[in-house]
Each structure stands twice: as structure tokens, then as C-alpha cells.
């Protein structure tokens, strides 16, 4: 019941949290910390670093609650803040080797247990084909597709989180989808020969 209220009244929930309502903070934390954790796993396998980033983010939210801005989309706000914090920590700890990566960071696609069960039911050939095509996308394309289609964020939200302009975001996702489609169609036509 409260989840539907949260989704339709995120601005109100955020404002109640900002005004000192600790119950709202608990709800925000329990609702979104798992999504932040899953997002963090796309950048690093260092679970401790991800957990530290999440804890630091929520600690700073409590500490600065009166001065933080308003939002009507809590997930977008948290994803963007978390991403920036995680990148800073990764760079500080020199655990993020970006020398061979033109996009400036890595982004890995890891399937959840539910997705894994569905994938295992698919034919092995189709799965190998999809993984091959997906691995050929750039890290930025992988991240944009993950945010857009796995988290259901709109283009504006993806652009804000990735700190790119809206047109670049649309082009990035469009190119990634086109690459996936063309490669899968080419693979399919090669099979029929």
C-alpha cells in the first residue's frame, strides 16, 4: 500500500524526510538501497566499496537534509548521487583502471536471479548470440540501456544520471539499440544460410 503512495507522492515523501521525518528516511532507504547496490555492481565487484558508498550517501542525506534540494523522483536523485560518490571512491582508492577504456569507466551487465532463470530457459545458441552482441557495446551504451530498460527511467533521467545532454542520451540509446538489432538480425540470417 505504501509503495503506491510513495510512487505517486515522491515529492511529498522527500519533503517529509527533509523536514525531519525519520520514518520517511527509513522507507526511502529500504525502498532504494537495494537498487543502488545492484547499480553499483555494474561498475565494480567490490561489495564493501558499494556498501560504503551507499552508507555514506544516506549518512550525508541525513546530515544535510535541510539543505538538499527538492525532487519528485527519488530514485533518479539517489542514482545520480550514488554514481558520483562511487566514482569518487573508486578513483581515490585507485581500484578503477581506466587507461584502456575510452569511455572513462567500466560497466558490466550482470543478470539478477530472476533474469538468470529466464535466460537459462532460452536456447543456448540464442543466449550466446545475445551475449556476444551485448559485449560489443561500449560501457556507456551498456549503462544507458541498463538505466533506460532495466530501471525504467526516461531519457531525461538517464541523461541527468550519466551527466550528458538529452540529445546525446537519446542518440546513445538509439545507437545501442540499433547495434543490438542489426547484429542479432545478421546472426539470425547467417543461421538460416
What are 103-150's pLDDT values in tens digits?
556 666 665 666 555 556 655 666 677 677 778 889 999 999 889 988
pTM above 0.75, yes or no: no
Q: Write the DSSP string, 94-144.
A: T----TT-TTSS-------HHHHHHHHHS-HHHHHHHHHHHHTS-HHHHHH
Which of 23-37, 81-95, 111-125, 174-188 holds the top average pLDDT? 23-37
Handedness of CA 135, 140, 143, 147 (dihedral sign): negative
- Tell me how far apart the alpha carbons of residues 58 and 17 are, in angstroms, rounded to a whole number: 12
Question: How is residue 45 annotated by DSSP?
Answer: S
- Tell me how far apart the alpha carbons of residues 62 and 2 are, in angstroms, rounded to a whole number: 21
- Tell me how far apart the alpha carbons of residues 25 and 17 are, in angstroms, rounded to a whole number: 6
Mean pLDDT, the chain, whole residue set: 81
- Tell me how far apart the alpha carbons of residues 157 and 79 are, in angstroms, rounded to a whole number: 10
Amino acid at each position: 500500500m505504501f509503495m503506491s503512495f510513495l510512487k505517486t507522492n515522491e515529492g511529498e515523501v522527500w519533503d517529509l524526510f527533509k523536514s525531519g521525518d525519520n520514518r520517511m528516511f527509513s522507507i526511502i532507504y529500504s525502498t532504494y538501497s537495494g537498487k543502488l547496490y545492484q547499480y553499483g555492481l555494474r561498475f565494480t565487484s567490490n561489495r564493501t566499496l558499494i556498501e560504503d558508498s551507499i552508507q555514506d550517501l544516506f549518512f550525508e542525506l541525513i546530515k544535510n537534509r535541510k539543505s538538499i534540494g527538492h525532487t519528485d523522483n527519488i530514485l533518479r536523485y539517489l542514482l545520480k548521487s550514488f554514481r558520483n560518490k562511487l566514482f569518487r571512491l573508486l578513483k581515490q582508492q585507485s581500484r578503477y583502471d581506466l587507461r584502456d577504456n575510452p569511455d572513462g569507466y567500466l560497466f558490466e551487465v550482470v543478470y539478477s536471479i530472476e533474469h538468470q532463470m529466464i535466460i537459462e530457459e532460452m536456447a543456448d545458441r540464442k543466449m550466446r548470440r545475445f551475449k556476444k552482441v551485448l559485449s560489443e557495446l561500449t560501457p556507456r551504451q551498456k549503462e544507458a540501456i541498463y538505466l533506460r530498460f532495466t530501471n525504467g527511467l526516461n531519457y531525461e533521467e538517464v541523461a541527468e544520471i550519466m551527466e550528458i545532454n538529452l540529445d546525446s542520451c537519446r542518440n546513445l540509446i538509439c545507437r545501442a539499440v540499433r547495434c543490438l538489432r542489426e547484429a542479432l538480425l545478421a546472426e539470425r540470417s547467417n543461421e538460416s544460410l
